Amino acid sequence: MIVCKFGGTSMASGHQFHKVKHVLDLDDSRKIVVVSAPGKRFASDQKVTDLLIEAFYEGPSSKSVALIIQRFEEIREQLSLPEELVEQLTSELHQRLLASQGELSSRLDAVKAIGEEFSARFFAAFLKSLGRKSRFADPAEIGIYMTASNQRAQLLDESYEMLKKLKDTQEIVVVPGFYGYTKDGVLRTFERGGSDITGSILAAAVQADLYENFTDVDFVYAANPNIIESPQQIEEITYREMRELSYAGFTVIHDEALMPVYRKQIPVAIKNTNNPDAPGTKIVAFRPLTDQPVTGLTADQGFSILYVSKYLMNRELGFGRKLLQIIEEEGISYEHTPSGLDDISVIIRSHYLDSKKEQRIVYRVLHELGAEVAYFKHGLSMIVLVGEGMRNSTGLAARATAAISDTGANIEMINQGSSEVSLVFGVLEQDQVKIVHALYDAFFSRVKVRT
């Protein structure tokens, strides 16, 4: 049994629906299909989910509502589906936009999920129109139960018992990604990009042989192809490596999506709907080590550092805990805390901060913790080298720092050792691109290995 998930570009038009159907025809163990909302057809296009969010704030007579209906109407026409489907979408959309009961965040979730719901309804209807045995599966009916947290809900573990029943399905089950329901029947979504999570949960629940994540790239590349021309392809990568890469900028798969399949050790394949014959990238628990210690290189912007210094900090019991407690009390989740004898830095995603929060934190660190120095620095990038082979490779950090220093850029922070498979450099955002080039040249060949 294979669980496969098709992303937004795969569901972007009637033409793409045909390709997805073709992928299903190639292997009849592809029985559970998770779909995203229609995504971008071309670079400047808008995703249906983004239009839905706009519609939520702009109201039922906004341009976004007209665009959403038009997108689905086009798909309907291209696939010759019944008109009732678009009528049903229109009435559901208006109803959810006009709903006044419940919290704002849950009303927003209900609107955001319409893209996935109707993508799945349309696709199931399309398969049926071609005589395939298939059905739309409502997350409430199959048992995708969620916590009530706003827009970042999590699955309730008890869902697995119910979802397991899908294993015996004889027909193709089309499941909308991205959302489920609380035990009280309130719709909740995962984080943006969360259809990957739905797919992974279903693969874990039915103990699938494989979870296929169909997107619009043939492979996961060792570095961002928008920065590095023709980067190396990754054929096999471990869950841990992929987790580190997807955390810091690799958008191929949502970082939360690996957990359910990882727990059950179900392999994942990243594949291309537009080129299903390409073998894709396999994500596995173990892989043989090669002579290349670094598997991938990624960079992400938008970080800030809080620098704190206090003489004899290392001897003060509880200093780190109290510092992190201040951060916690401001509702901030931190990323790294590299430290020295008398110094500690806390790396935070800048979107958590505003000037009032920063002032409060600095004030408390100086006055409550008695630090001599405390200040924020913004505009940082985290550059992450990832590879299972890194821990057995001597001189790797030296090679990396030499490559960075050759660019003339300064390293603001290094975090090595806490993760066995990654090495993190904090640098100024304006130096990011040249450092990515320098590190790529230091660790990867320029040989094109595309098939």
Instruction: Name the residues that contact ligand ASP, by CB under 6 A.
Output: 8, 36-37, 47, 49, 115-116, 177-178, 192-196
Residue 293, amino acid: P
Of the candidates 112, 175, 106, 103, which has an alpha carbon nearest to the alpha carbon of residue 143? Answer: 175
**Shortest separation between residue 142's beta carbon and ligand ASP, angstroms:** 18
Q: Which is nearer to ligand ASP, 214 or 319 (CB)?
A: 214
DSSP letter (8 states) at residue 292: -
CB of 48 to ligand ASP, least distance (A): 7
423 three-class SS: strand
Q: For residues 297 and 244, is the Cβ–Cβ distance under 8 A?
A: no
What minimum distance in Å lies between the beta carbon of 49 and ligand ASP? Answer: 4
User: What's the closest the beta carbon of residue 112 comes to ligand ASP, in angstroms?
Assistant: 7
Nearer to ligand ASP, 197 or 347 (CB): 197
Q: Tell me whether residue 36 or residue 381 sits nearer to ligand ASP (CB atom).
A: 36
Please tell me whether residue 445 adopts helix, strand or coil conformation. coil
CB of 115 or CB of 260, closer to ligand ASP: 115
- Chain residue whose CB lies nearest ligand ASP: 195
The 3-state DSSP class for residue 102 equals coil
| 343 alpha-carbon distance from chain centroid | 33
d(CA 80, CA 126) in angstroms, rounded, equals 8
For every residue of 213-276, DSSP letters joined together read: EEES-SSEESS-TTTSSSPPEESEEEHHHHHHHHHTT--SS-GGGHHHHHHHT--EEEEETT-T
Torsion-angle region of 262 (φ positive above 0: left; ψ -120 to 50: alpha; else: beta): alpha
Residue pair 113/179 in contact by the 8 Å Cβ criterion? yes
Q: Which is nearer to ligand ASP, 180 or 194 (CB)?
A: 194
Helix or strand holding residue 202 (H, E): helix 195-205
CB of 148 to ligand ASP, least distance (A): 19
Give the nearest distance from C-beta 289 to ligand ASP in angstroms. Answer: 33
Minimal distance in Å, beta carbon 37 to ligand ASP?
4
Q: Which residue's CB is nearer to ligand ASP, number 167 or number 192? A: 192
**Shorter beta-carbon distance to ligand ASP: residue 200 or 345:** 200
